[in-house]
């Protein structure tokens, strides 16, 4: 192809800004110097860069998930369900991105990982405080897990605040109550620092919503958005477990957990148990 007949697109864009002595650049806005200098390998192994980048990207996505879940919980509490739907749909899309990250990490072989694994010391994804914040935001509260973070006062206080805050499911159950459904008082006034446990009155309320979709359309849509998030979360857990099994088998995790055995156990945990139970009842 004759390049003279097809000049470069950039050369035709005479209005493109090139002088940034007094103006903020794309790199400045995103703090790219800080972000791109944060991949510090502790070994000389080529594949440690992959390991670091995948986990850093996951943490950035998790930061956005937390941002959206907090806003969605507030919107539900304020009766602004339609606003929450957009945020929850975004969370599901983010989750799909994180899941694909495991496919990239799975290109790391056991022989490659073992070359730099000792460099991690006791550091482990099990210690991710943002992952813990997501669990708390979805209703799985575990006081004992906070022990891991006591050495960092700022993180510990953030987790303590999240432990005491209503989860998105607490807000959703309160929305059922506001809509006139009979919800047991001990659920509405439950200890928010404990994991949510299934309740018959909540199950019957959701069943009614699904049996009368036209009458309770917004609550029905809310329920399906929550199911989407839990579905994606279970897929994330499964891909995590299989990736770990593929790379280290059944070795103990660097953070001291049982590794794959632990990851297999948590796959069966439900954040919103009634929303799954009613599918058998309908």
CA distance 120 to 149: 18
- When pLDDT is averaged across residues 203-229 and rounded to a whole number, the result is 98
Highest mean pLDDT out of 20-24, 238-242, 258-262, 278-282: 278-282
Residue 86: per-residue pLDDT = 97
In this prediction the pTM is 0.90
177 has binding-site annotation = no
240 has binding-site annotation = yes
53 has binding-site annotation = yes
When the pLDDT of each residue in the chain is averaged and rounded to a whole number, the result is 92
Confidence class of residue 8 from pLDDT cuts 50, 70 and 90?
A: low
Res 59 pLDDT > 70: yes
Residue 82: per-residue pLDDT = 95
Residue 142: per-residue pLDDT = 87
54 has binding-site annotation = yes
- Topology classification of domain 39-168+186-250+257-281: Methane Monooxygenase Hydroxylase; Chain G, domain 1 (1.20.58)
113 has binding-site annotation = yes
51 has binding-site annotation = yes
8 A C-beta contact, residue 230 and residue 270: yes
- Given phi > 0 = left and psi -120 to 50 = alpha, else beta, which region is 90? alpha
Q: Where do the structural domains in the chain lie, given as residue ranges?
A: 1-38, 39-168+186-250+257-281
Res 19 pLDDT > 50: yes
- When pLDDT is averaged across residues 181-189 and rounded to a whole number, the result is 97
């Amino acid at each position: 192809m004759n390049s003279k007949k097809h000049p470069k697109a950039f050369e035709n864009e005479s209005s493109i800004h090139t002088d940034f002595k007094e103006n903020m650049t794309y790199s400045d806005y995103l703090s790219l110097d800080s972000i791109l200098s944060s991949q510090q390998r502790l070994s000389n192994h080529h594949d440690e860069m992959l390991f670091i980048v995948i986990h850093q990207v996951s943490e950035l996505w998790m930061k956005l998930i937390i941002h959206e879940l907090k806003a969605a919980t507030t919107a539900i509490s304020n009766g602004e369900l339609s606003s929450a739907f957009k945020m929850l749909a975004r969370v599901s899309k983010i989750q799909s991105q994180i899941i694909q990250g495991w496919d990239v990490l799975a290109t790391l072989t056991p022989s490659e990982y073992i070359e730099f694994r000792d460099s991690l010391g006791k550091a482990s994804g099990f210690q991710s405080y943002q992952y813990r914040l997501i669990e708390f935001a979805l209703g799985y509260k575990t006081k004992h897990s906070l022990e891991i973070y006591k050495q960092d006062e700022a993180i510990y206080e953030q987790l303590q605040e999240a432990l005491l805050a209503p989860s998105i499911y607490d807000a959703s159950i309160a929305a059922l109550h506001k809509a006139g459904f009979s919800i047991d008082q001990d659920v509405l006034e439950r200890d928010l620092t404990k994991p949510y446990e299934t309740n018959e009155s909540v199950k019957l309320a959701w069943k009614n919503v699904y049996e009368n979709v036209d009458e309770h359309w917004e609550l029905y849509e809310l329920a399906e958005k929550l199911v989407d998030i839990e579905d994606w979360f279970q897929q994330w857990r499964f891909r995590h477990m299989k990736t770990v099994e593929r790379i280290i088998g059944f070795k103990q995790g660097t953070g001291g957990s049982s590794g794959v055995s632990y990851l297999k156990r948590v796959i069966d945990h439900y954040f919103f148990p009634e929303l799954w139970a009613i599918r058998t009842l309908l």
